[in-house]
Structure 1
Amino acid sequence: MNPADPHALRRRLREYHRGDEATVVDELIALARFSPSEEDGITHRATPLVQTVRESRLQTGGIDAFLATYDLSSREGVVLMCLAEALLRIPDAETVDRLIRDKIGSTEWERRLGASHSTFVNAGTWALMLTGRIVKLGNDDTNLSGTLKRLVARAGEPVIRQAVTTAMRILGRQFVMGRNIDEAIERARSAEKSGYRHSYDMLGESARTSADALRYFESYSKAIAAIGRAAGGRSVFAAPSISIKLSALHPRYEVAQEERVHRELLPAIKALALRAKARNIGCTIDAEESDRLELSLDLIEALAMDSELAGWDGLGLAVQAYQKRALPLIDWLADLARRADRRLIVRLCKGAYWDAEIKLAQERGLADYPVFTRKVASDVSYLACARRLFADPRAFYPAFATHNAHTLAAVAEIAISAGGSDEWEYQRLHGMGEELYDQVVGEDRAGHACRVYAPVGSHEDLLAYLVRRLLENGANSSFVNRIADAELPIAALIADPVGKAAALAVKRQTRIPLPRALFGAERANSEGLDMNDKATLQDLVSAIERSRRILYIAEPLIGGHTTRHASRPVPSPADRRDTVGQVSEATLADVARAYETAIAAFPGWSNTPAEKRAAALDGAADRLQGRLPELIALIVREGGRTPADALSEVREAIDFCRYYAGEARARLAQPIVLPGPTGERNSLSLHGRGVFVCISPWNFPLAIFVGQVAAALVAGNCVLAKPAEQTPLVAALAIELLHAGGVPTEVLAFLPGDGRIGAALVEHPACAGVAFTGSTEVA
């Protein structure tokens, strides 16, 4: 790879996106490993930092101590996080009261009373304990005392509601600098006198409408003007700065809308950047979910190369070390800085969306995760990235966001090893890490500059930010949590993560299965596509174009033989000029013949071992998976669905097949006795009930169609399947794949047609059961 080739560097980013975790971690270990002198220096720096923080906690407490007491491994911690999240968006008092009764009243706060040395924490626990006792009083219905207690509980609920809501707001204010930018700047003055700098973040997440985006743009613009006035002529690195979220500035900030994003969002970001340049302050683009990284890099590259922004070194971005591609990203940024002849501000952080990244990859059935599954790997990645940033001072002004004493000390030692430059800074979140950074910030200390990430906004804007902070710092693996554990030796707290990672026999966390192994031995998860990958989206465009060259045919299929009647065209609902295919609809004679064939086939299929029936569904699932792009294209054209929705539908159909196959293996092998159609009792473990009719809707032409059919088949029934009139072509292809997977042709018939055919199928005397619309209850 030519290191000066930006296209090669971007390709490397994509290769690492969901790369093999063990391979990536081994590479990072080699780059991050400390020399003996660095190890000694880190221990010398970090040990007194931890000692002082622990001593400070005995007197002051505060939000760090609160998070340590109610960590997310405890029931109480989970309750508090749920309350913090829910109380910010519940609109009515009655629901708030019910939530408090459910969450507060069911938790044993007494066990936590006195567990902390912090008066703040113990006072909060005492209040929660009393609240819990009061809301439990309504349980005694046996006497007058119980009635009085319920009256007390009802009378107390408004007071309790206000107290708990206020407590959550106090918790929120620990993380928010001010309700507006002027209040935040004023509140920051005392910290600035102590040597701190600030980066202001106007709270708010993704814009849902253009009006939202405009409101956020105006908020950022006003903030830049106010920050510029407060800068007082300081250098761009020393002055206060602003952090912006691209998702707040556009309602469709996604790869699928790339052209629109460049046309509408880029001018807005550039306008903000020009305002920041005019006031000589920094403007850092915050990191968001990994899906958006490549799109953000295109926008950052355009800004960096813009001639109107030349000569300004205030353009910055955040890099998340928990992403596997963090180090290749820094390599690409170094090349961008050279091409643009500028210095980029890079805020290196661990990352705040880990839970979402893991769950999204699992839900989407992707090949691997974009983030490390072990925290220690993120720590190693952070250190390797820090070395790379210090190695290129012409390209970067590094900012190291951390609340970890070992990381703080390690960064200082790496800086010395790199030549001892002073042109870098630490960063911390407002409301956290004060005891740690107060030891290193200030003219009277041999420390370094620290910038406080300072959110600005009202209580209502706090929701997403607050929940991320609670998740990030309330986890029992976080440094903020572990430092409060007085029984944990300091040596263990500041242990070298590089050595810990190197000692692991298995680098990835085995308790977190790969997305496609999510269900373990039960069944395979359907394989999805990364719909935020431009190459994948282009492949789907190509699949749709290939689909236009195929004329799909749907016609009655009974016992493996088709019957052709007069056909009609099936147009796309999105473009009536696009004829997707032709359908030949069944007749009443076809219905009679289908029943005759199915009745004759039923005894053999009903007596077929459950394992063999399950294997047929697994075979169908494999064939559906193998035709994924074609099925997506056909659903888009015939069903009028978006590619993303079509992908979800194909995957749901695959999952239905595998799920029912798994149910057959797990349950049909055991005797399950259920009432029969005439009152007798039969065992589904051995036999089906007869011939089932499955009639599906147009809005889920594949998933519901396949789900109904698969459920009936695996239980030992024969099936007569009638798709919606609007979407027979998708269903016809599904029938073809079910047969190819191993379902006998005489067991599964296909009868496209209108409501008359549906009525004839349902009213036939041999009909043993019907699955309508979304129903898959076939017993």
Structure 2
Amino acid sequence: MNETRTLPASPDVDPRDDDAVDLAPLIAAHGPVPELRAATQARAEALVRAIREEGHPSIMEKFLGEYGLSSEEGVALMCLAEALLRVPDAATIDDLIEDKIAGSRWDAHLGQSESSLVNASTWGLYLTGAVLREERSGSLADTLRGAVRRLGEPVIRTAVTRAIREMGRQFVLGTTIEGAMSRARGFAARGYTFSYDMLGEAAMTDADALRYHASYAHAIAAIAAEAGGDIRDAPGISVKLSALHPRYETRQRETVMATLVPRLASLVHQAKEAGIGLNIDAEEDSRLDLSLDVIENVVADEALAGWDGFGVVIQAYNRRAAQVIDRVHAMAERHDRRIMVRLVKGAYWDTEIKHAQVTGLDRFPVWVTKPATDASYLCCARKLLGCDDRIYPQFATHNAHTVAAVQEYAEAAGVTSFEFQRLHGMGEALYDHVLKGNAHRCRVYAPVGHHRDLLAYLVRRLLENGANSSFVNQIFDASMSPAEIAADPFAAVEAGLVRPARIQLASELFAPARRNSRGWDLDDPETVDLLAEEVARRAGGDWHAGEGEGTETAVLNPATGERVGTAIFATADAARAAVAATRPWDAPVEERAAALERAADLYEANAAEIFARCTREAGKTLLDGVAELREAVDFLRYYAAEARRLDAAGETVAGRGVFACISPWNFPLAIFTGQIAAALAAGNGVVAKPAETTPLTAALGVALMHEAGVPADVLRLVPGTGAEVGAALAADPGVAGLAFTGSTATAKRIEVARAEAAPGAPLIAETGGLNAMVVDSTALPEQAVRDIVASAFQSAGQRCSAARILYVQDEVADDLMAMLFGAMEALVIGDPVDPAVDVGPVIDETALAKIAAHVEAARASGRLLRQVDPPDLPGTFAGPAAIAVSGIEDLEEEIFGPVLHIARYRAEDLDRVVDAINAKGYGLTFGMHSRITDRIEQVVARISVGNVYVNRNQIGAIVGSQPFGGHGLSGTGPKAGGPRYLPRFTAAPQVGLPAETAAEAHPEADPQRLAGALAALAVPALDPAGLADLPGPTGESNRYGTVGRGPVLCLGPGAARAEEQAAAARAAGAAALAAAPGSPEIDGHVAPEALTALPALAAVVYEGDDPAPYARALAARQGPIVPLLTGADFARWCVREVAVSVDTTAAGGNADLLAG
């Protein structure tokens, strides 16, 4: 089967020319001759004219013809349709309607866009019918607001809900199979037959899968009553394989084959007995190989001999479509079957483009232009017509040119056994005309299901058919001629119109500054098998880290307890000697940057070795190992590019001296590399201490950086314990700056040591968080649960960004938690050397004991909602757990493992929930699932965290796209992978003002007045509108900006300098206060010991010659690290950074991509 996976690429051709390159052999083999093309064009134009003269567009065709989806408002419409009918509470329904129709964002675009949807006030009339009758000259927002004033929100709510239900009814034949069949009889009288599709999302739990299976079985039994005779004339059913198994994915192949094949086989046998056809719907490309395996296993059953009702769907937009036809034809020959093949354009185009970009794949699995897809469809149609000995072709299209082409091709080939298919609610005028001659069968693909199930389906159809370039949008557009509408796609291919300039390759997402990291396709069976073999071949045992004198320590695999290597743990003296022997890297900026880029290339070239060490030393799954390597590579290239950028801008890119980099075990390569890369790019020397549990991966990273050209006396690896080596580095005056990632408690100990050793030197600390996610009643449960599971349990919950508490709106909490618990049960826990494993071990026995104690305490108090049983293996495995809490107030500390706390909240309490999260003092990540844009923006402005994630998971920040880091108890900033990180490693000019004279020479500042003045400062709030876009994949919005810190205390020395400092801090956006003898703000000397007792401080600025007393006083404070800013660049650090990442496809798809 894997032969279908091969996608040959010419090394001499730009990958963006793939459409032209890959189409050439397809067109050569199956493209029509010029005479056929000419006949098709003439026939298509005649068909368009006939439809215009005789046909009447359906309600939805009128709607889509008038209102495009190329605008922000079009997306709002989709979101309203997608979310409204599942929202249970009236208040949220009202908020959703106001957000999508009457909000200020809509007003801002009225009359400004080319989209008719934006400019037409008739949309409100169309949507809400007689309830919202107004003069057409009024604006939509005024129309709705006026109606609300007159009629009240309940009437508007009812009207909009009814209108959205009516939209759904245009696409969905019935809410039950019986109702759909009853409604279908009217169409059957006109010559149509039907294929019924039972609506629903992919199964998230095994209970979902069993429910969908029962629904299919019930439908087949009902349809059987109308079967009989030729199976081609009988109604049929379409089945989605992802509905029959909750883990329908490549890496779960073994369990899929064991469970899904018999489930599908039972339905197939039932369909055979009923005398109806059963089609397997096509899904994402990532499932194609697995689908073919499942299909072959079922088709091979000898009990199906003589039955011609088994069908598959092939998507012409997939580059492998022609190969799949060959595979299905060979399958039919091998098992002596005749298989139905429904050829469709394809329904997941935007998803496939985003997936390729996100995963770093430089070849898209689909054609990236409409002409290429259309040409592929026609070539595949000719190919199918030539396979009619074993295949019954079914052509699903709403395009007159395609219909005409199939008719011409079939007549030329002498083939009469085929049928056309259309979607219910679409293409009626076209096929009513086709059926007039009774020359061809026509089947209607008819969705069946409750309104709550139609939402994703409805939006997908809107995306497919609502783009301005679609035939449905054009057929009744009088401004377009029949020749334009029925244009020959082969002519566009010949004209070179198959190169999409605006769709970036994955490697180009951050161009021209740098190349993106390469990805590995973990949905490709061959890739997964190869990587698994490479990891298995590298069992470790002889890996080593460290040199010189010290204690040889065994490094253990947390999944097995086996030794994977050894490390020489240095002594404190050895650590100090390493600092003394390390020199700053004073090479030119370009030389440094080039070396880091060579290191990135070497990292990628040694991927298998890196994956093996991440798996065996850190317990990482293959998925996490790939992400780890990619992040490390991105850090190397990003900081190289940043050094060049700063240098070109005239900024100083010179190091401070020797930096100590102390990294954690949970990202033994990525964070380790990121700290070092920034320090090296800035021109520092580096002494790097990896976590004591993961020195072997770090040793490989250092070896590759040395090989790339980083001098050995510039970068030194010093493995050891935190208590000895970490403490020695923190206390060493020769360390000019220290970067640390780890626990908040350890960061505070380092702060105390640095205050004595190097007061005012940079301490860049990234610590943990009590990270929350909020899910309101507009969220799609399946999507939310998928993201909750990833956020809380991926990497065994051992990410500082992981979700620790989930707030669920009360009205949907029971259903969502039931789905979540089922999804937890579907997780595979075990040794990550197996690619099927989702959750590996926690790092060691100490971590496991802490997690176990926390879970047991919850169990004892009756708050344990669910825990998945860990495997009976020798490693340190913790079963994912969910614990009930009343709110974040119940959490005393971060539990670093697969433990999620769950609280319910009422919609009206959302602000209080956000305030409670802020009150804990952490500020790392926050996630939100909602369809209400205004609500999201309000929460983004109110929440005090570094990284906000909307309608997606809250882990896996991408370098340069989602700069990562927090504030408060979560760290000092600046954000890793962001524009402010590298400058913190560079030498800052020192003013070196003299220290004040003895304290007794100046009156001391009144402590109460000082505390009151600080408390009175208004801490700046984030304005989301002020955030700037960062590059990233399509289907995502990644925005970044800063907000001033507050309060910032400016101490001069001297009144004049204190006032200058406060003015500079305020100019940066901070809330600042000057305090010095003679200052008009606070007159008096602020003694260092006074800082210990002051209320909340964000930073202290002091540029005197002796900052040590102030540094010691700040280090003695409880709570967050308060930086002492001593350099002339202090204003740069008087802000905190915020990054907001939004999945813009959450409502069902990316209209921006499809509109082009």
User: With structure 2 as the length reference, what TM-score do the two structures score?
Assistant: 0.60
Equivalent residue number for residue 972 of structure 2: none
Which one-letter code corresponds to 1:436 in the other structure? L
Equivalent residue number for residue 656 of structure 1: 635
**Where does the alignment leave 5 or more consecutive residues of structure 2 unmatched?**
743-765, 767-964, 966-975, 985-1156
CA distance in structure 2 between the aligned counterparts of 1:429 and 1:706, rounded to whole angstroms: 52
Any idea what SS the aligned residue of 2:6 has? helix
Equivalent residue number for residue 506 of structure 2: 515
Any idea what SS the aligned residue of 2:523 has? coil
1:587 alignment partner, one of 571, 574, 580: 571
Equivalent residue number for residue 163 of structure 2: 167
Question: Does the CA contact (< 8 Å) of 2:67 and 2:117 recur in 1?
Answer: no
CA distance in structure 1 between the aligned counterparts of 2:120 and 2:398, rounded to whole angstroms: 21
Question: Does the CA contact (< 8 Å) of 1:440 and 1:446 recur in 2?
Answer: yes
Equivalent residue number for residue 132 of structure 1: 141
Greater helix share, structure number: 1
Question: Does the CA contact (< 8 Å) of 2:117 and 2:123 recur in 1?
Answer: no
Equivalent residue number for residue 258 of structure 2: 263
Equivalent residue number for residue 73 of structure 2: 76
Equivalent residue number for residue 140 of structure 1: none
Equivalent residue number for residue 550 of structure 2: 565
The yes-or-no answer on 1:21 pairing with 2:6 is no
CA distance in structure 2 between the aligned counterparts of 1:192 and 1:249, rounded to whole angstroms: 30
2:460 alignment partner, one of 457, 468, 481: 468
2:693 alignment partner, one of 726, 732, 755: 726
Which one-letter code corresponds to 1:613 in the other structure? R
Equivalent residue number for residue 193 of structure 1: 189
Are the structure 2 counterparts of residues 16 and 612 from structure 1 closer, same or farther at C-alpha, using a change threshold of 3 Å?
Answer: closer
Q: Give the share of equivalent positions with the same residue, in percent.
A: 49
Equivalent residue number for residue 837 of structure 2: none
Question: Does the CA contact (< 8 Å) of 1:66 and 1:121 recur in 2?
Answer: no
CA distance in structure 2 between the aligned counterparts of 1:162 and 1:220, rounded to whole angstroms: 32
Equivalent residue number for residue 399 of structure 1: 394
Bigger Cα displacement from structure 2, 97-106 vs 67-76? 97-106
CA distance in structure 2 between the aligned counterparts of 1:283 and 1:567, rounded to whole angstroms: 64
Question: Does the CA contact (< 8 Å) of 1:230 and 1:240 recur in 2?
Answer: yes
Question: Does the CA contact (< 8 Å) of 1:367 and 1:516 recur in 2?
Answer: yes
CA distance in structure 1 between the aligned counterparts of 2:165 and 2:696, rounded to whole angstroms: 55
* 1:46-79 deviation per Cα after TM superposition (whole angstroms, max 9, x unaligned): 234323544578x755112222333222332222
Any idea what SS the aligned residue of 1:439 has? helix
CA distance in structure 1 between the aligned counterparts of 2:54 and 2:581, rounded to whole angstroms: 82
- Give the root-mean-square deviation of aligned CA atoms: 2.9
Equivalent residue number for residue 368 of structure 1: 363
Bigger Cα displacement from structure 2, 255-264 vs 48-57? 48-57
The yes-or-no answer on 1:293 pairing with 2:288 is yes
Question: Does the CA contact (< 8 Å) of 1:17 and 1:324 recur in 2?
Answer: no
The yes-or-no answer on 1:320 pairing with 2:304 is no
Any idea what SS the aligned residue of 1:667 has? helix
Question: Does the CA contact (< 8 Å) of 2:345 and 2:374 recur in 1?
Answer: yes
CA distance in structure 1 between the aligned counterparts of 2:694 and 2:117, rounded to whole angstroms: 65
Question: Does the CA contact (< 8 Å) of 1:32 and 1:498 recur in 2?
Answer: no
Which one-letter code corresponds to 2:505 in the other structure? L
Equivalent residue number for residue 65 of structure 1: 62
CA distance in structure 1 between the aligned counterparts of 2:531 and 2:116, rounded to whole angstroms: 58
Bigger Cα displacement from structure 2, 513-522 vs 491-500? 513-522
**Where does the alignment leave 5 or more consecutive residues of structure 1 unmatched?**
1-6, 138-148, 556-561, 673-684
Are the structure 2 counterparts of residues 586 and 88 from structure 1 closer, same or farther at C-alpha, using a change threshold of 3 Å?
Answer: farther
Are the structure 2 counterparts of residues 306 and 190 from structure 1 closer, same or farther at C-alpha, using a change threshold of 3 Å?
Answer: same
Are the structure 2 counterparts of residues 257 and 487 from structure 1 closer, same or farther at C-alpha, using a change threshold of 3 Å?
Answer: same
Question: C-alpha displacement at 1:219, in angstroms?
Answer: 0.8
Equivalent residue number for residue 435 of structure 1: 429
CA distance in structure 1 between the aligned counterparts of 2:600 and 2:97, rounded to whole angstroms: 45
Bigger Cα displacement from structure 2, 707-716 vs 494-503? 707-716
Bigger Cα displacement from structure 2, 85-94 vs 279-288? 85-94
Question: C-alpha displacement at 1:693, in angstroms?
Answer: 2.9
Are the structure 2 counterparts of residues 471 and 671 from structure 1 closer, same or farther at C-alpha, using a change threshold of 3 Å?
Answer: same
The yes-or-no answer on 1:552 pairing with 2:543 is yes
Equivalent residue number for residue 729 of structure 2: 761
CA distance in structure 2 between the aligned counterparts of 1:56 and 1:365, rounded to whole angstroms: 50
CA distance in structure 1 between the aligned counterparts of 2:603 and 2:535, rounded to whole angstroms: 17
2:242 alignment partner, one of 233, 247, 252: 247
Equivalent residue number for residue 1132 of structure 2: none
* 1:140-159 deviation per Cα after TM superposition (whole angstroms, max 9, x unaligned): xxxxxxxxx9x959x95555
Question: C-alpha displacement at 1:13, in angstroms?
Answer: 5.0
CA distance in structure 1 between the aligned counterparts of 2:233 and 2:658, rounded to whole angstroms: 78
CA distance in structure 2 between the aligned counterparts of 1:418 and 1:585, rounded to whole angstroms: 77
Question: C-alpha displacement at 1:317, in angstroms?
Answer: 0.2
Any idea what SS the aligned residue of 2:491 has? helix
Bigger Cα displacement from structure 2, 324-333 vs 94-103? 94-103
**Number of residue-to-residue matches in the alignment:** 728
CA distance in structure 2 between the aligned counterparts of 1:729 and 1:246, rounded to whole angstroms: 42
Equivalent residue number for residue 537 of structure 1: 528
The yes-or-no answer on 1:459 pairing with 2:455 is no
2:740 alignment partner, one of 771, 774, 779: 771
1:381 alignment partner, one of 365, 371, 376: 376
Question: Does the CA contact (< 8 Å) of 2:618 and 2:668 recur in 1?
Answer: yes
The yes-or-no answer on 1:304 pairing with 2:272 is no
Question: Does the CA contact (< 8 Å) of 2:30 and 2:383 recur in 1?
Answer: no
Question: C-alpha displacement at 1:222, in angstroms?
Answer: 0.6
Equivalent residue number for residue 486 of structure 1: 478
* 1:468-525 deviation per Cα after TM superposition (whole angstroms, max 9, x unaligned): 2122112222111232432222101112111221221x74324323332333322112
1:639 alignment partner, one of 602, 608, 618: 618
Question: Does the CA contact (< 8 Å) of 1:202 and 1:244 recur in 2?
Answer: yes
Higher RCO (CA < 8 A, seq sep 6+)? 1
Which one-letter code corresponds to 1:183 in the other structure? G
CA distance in structure 2 between the aligned counterparts of 1:752 and 1:115, rounded to whole angstroms: 61
Equivalent residue number for residue 203 of structure 2: 207
Question: Does the CA contact (< 8 Å) of 1:131 and 1:160 recur in 2?
Answer: no
CA distance in structure 2 between the aligned counterparts of 1:761 and 1:56, rounded to whole angstroms: 84
Any idea what SS the aligned residue of 1:336 has? helix
The yes-or-no answer on 1:524 pairing with 2:509 is no
* 1:325-362 deviation per Cα after TM superposition (whole angstroms, max 9, x unaligned): 11122122222211211110000011111111111111
Question: C-alpha displacement at 1:697, in angstroms?
Answer: 2.4
1:704 alignment partner, one of 668, 671, 688: 671
Question: Does the CA contact (< 8 Å) of 1:29 and 1:501 recur in 2?
Answer: no
Which one-letter code corresponds to 1:227 in the other structure? I
Question: Does the CA contact (< 8 Å) of 1:67 and 1:481 recur in 2?
Answer: yes
CA distance in structure 2 between the aligned counterparts of 1:276 and 1:626, rounded to whole angstroms: 51
1:123 alignment partner, one of 121, 126, 135: 126
Which one-letter code corresponds to 1:486 in the other structure? A
Which one-letter code corresponds to 2:556 in the other structure? P
1:227 alignment partner, one of 215, 223, 227: 223
* 1:230-251 deviation per Cα after TM superposition (whole angstroms, max 9, x unaligned): 22x2321111100001111111
Any idea what SS the aligned residue of 2:286 has? helix
CA distance in structure 2 between the aligned counterparts of 1:95 and 1:738, rounded to whole angstroms: 54
Question: Does the CA contact (< 8 Å) of 2:282 and 2:315 recur in 1?
Answer: yes
Any idea what SS the aligned residue of 1:438 has? helix
Equivalent residue number for residue 747 of structure 1: 714
Question: Does the CA contact (< 8 Å) of 1:65 and 1:121 recur in 2?
Answer: no
* 1:514-556 deviation per Cα after TM superposition (whole angstroms, max 9, x unaligned): 332333322112111121222222211221222115521122x
Question: Does the CA contact (< 8 Å) of 2:123 and 2:140 recur in 1?
Answer: no
Question: Does the CA contact (< 8 Å) of 2:646 and 2:653 recur in 1?
Answer: no
